[in-house]
Chain A
Amino acid sequence: GAGVSQTPSNKVTEKGKYVELRCDPISGHTALYWYRQSLGQGPEFLIYFQGTGAADDSGLPNDRFFAVRPEGSVSTLKIQRTERGDSAVYLCASSPSPFGGTGSSYNEQFFGPGTRLTVL
């Protein structure tokens, strides 16, 4: 596709249930990022992948959150035993590579439209 896509666009679940959120990055982008955004706040980093491996998962709040990217393209964010505090918009972004010639993040991140998760 032309951009980053995320499914579903909205997810309503009950406390304690398991949910999966999917991200399809731009074709060829090796880096993929997951963020969580609460109302009135900036995106909060969760995890980023370089290829199939998680390069930095320091933002995952606890062991209920897990993400995979088995083939280096599509990624799934998995949340077990959901809590009301998990309600937020979950954003996915991708970039051609996290690193430019200087070794820093010289490439822009392209964000998807997000999945709005509501835990009742």
Chain B
Amino acid sequence: QQPVQSPQAVILREGEDAVINCSSSKALYSVHWYRQKHGEAPVFLMILLKGGEQKGHEKISASFNEKKQQSSLYLTASQLSYSGTYFCGTELRTSYGKLTFGQGTILTVHP
């Protein structure tokens, strides 16, 4: 039931782009994206709902393919502050409010 994230880790130079993917074997109703820095709490980035509605930060974009039960997070023109571990959390129609998180993708941005 846990969603699968890929890649497990990404190393970038400042200014480069990255895509993080999240796949589920279950029919999803929403996908939530969070970023967590070492020793800190996860911080909200984006929510994507079935039907195409989105809510999130302006500089972060994401997509949700309902047919494939996949979501992708797009990080463009990366900055040093983007470094951290990115988690997707998936919500099923049968369990509103309950998020199941993936194992995370470690993103490292170098100068």
B42 touches A105 (CB 8 A): no
B44 touches A108 (CB 8 A): yes
Most chain A CB atoms below 10 A, which of B40, B98, B104: B98
Task: Tell me, yes or no, whether B19 is within 8 Å of chain A by CB.
Answer: no
Instruction: Tell me how many residue pairs across A and B have CB atoms closer than 8 Å.
Output: 80
A48 touches B97 (CB 8 A): yes
Complex Cα spacing A42 to B89, Å: 9
A108 touches B47 (CB 8 A): yes
Given contacts A108-B44, A108-B47, A109-B44, contact A42 B96 (CB under 8 A): no
Which residues of chain A are within 8 angstroms of B53 by Cβ–Cβ distance? 102, 106
Q: Per a CB cutoff under 8 Å, which of A40, A41, A58, A109 touches B99? A: A109
Which residues of chain B are within 8 angstroms of A18 by Cβ–Cβ distance? none
B71-111 interface bits toward A, Cβ cutoff 8 Å, 1 = contact, 0 = none: 00000000000000001010100011111111110000000
**What are some 28 contacts across the A-B interface (CB < 8 A)?**
A4-B41, A31-B97, A33-B99, A42-B101, A45-B98, A45-B100, A48-B97, A48-B98, A56-B95, A56-B97, A56-B98, A58-B98, A91-B42, A98-B96, A99-B97, A103-B96, A104-B29, A104-B30, A104-B50, A105-B47, A105-B97, A106-B47, A106-B53, A110-B44, A111-B41, A111-B42, A113-B40, A114-B41
